[in-house]
Amino acid sequence: MQIAFWSNMHGQAATTANAVAAACFLALKTSYRILVTQNHIEMNALEHYLLRKREQAAIRMLDYTNQGLDALIRLYRNGRLRPEMIPDYTWSLMKNHGLDLLFGSAKRENLCAEKQDLLLNIFMCAKACYDLIILDLHSGLEGTNSRRLLENSDIIVCCLSQNRVLLDDFRRTMEEHPVLAGKRTAYVISRYEPASSLTLGNIAREYGLDAKSLFPVPYHVGFMDACNTGRVFDFMAYCLQARKGPDHEFAQAFSGLVDHVLKGCEKCPSPT
Residue pLDDT, tens place only, 88-105: 999 999 988 999 999 877
* Sign of CA pseudo-dihedral 50, 52, 58, 63: positive
Mean pLDDT calculated for residue range 143-149: 85
Residue 266: the pLDDT is: 41
Cβ-based burial of 131 (10 A; exposed 0-12, middle 13-18, buried ≥19): middle
Question: How does the average pLDDT of the chain come out, rounded?
Answer: 88
Rounded to whole angstroms, the Cα distance separating 196 from 164 reads: 11
Please write the tens of the pLDDT for every residue from 202-259.
Answer: 999 999 999 999 999 999 999 999 999 999 999 999 999 999 999 999 999 999 999 9
* Nearest alpha-carbon partner for 52 in 193, 226, 211, 202: 226
CATH architecture of 2-267: 3-Layer(aba) Sandwich (3.40)
CB 170, CB 207: distance < 8 Å? yes
Residue % of the chain over a pLDDT of 90: 69
Write down the pTM of the prediction.
0.92
Domain boundaries of the chain, sorted by first residue: 2-267
Around Cβ 186, how many Cβ atoms within 10 Å?
A: 23
Higher pLDDT, 182 or 203: 203
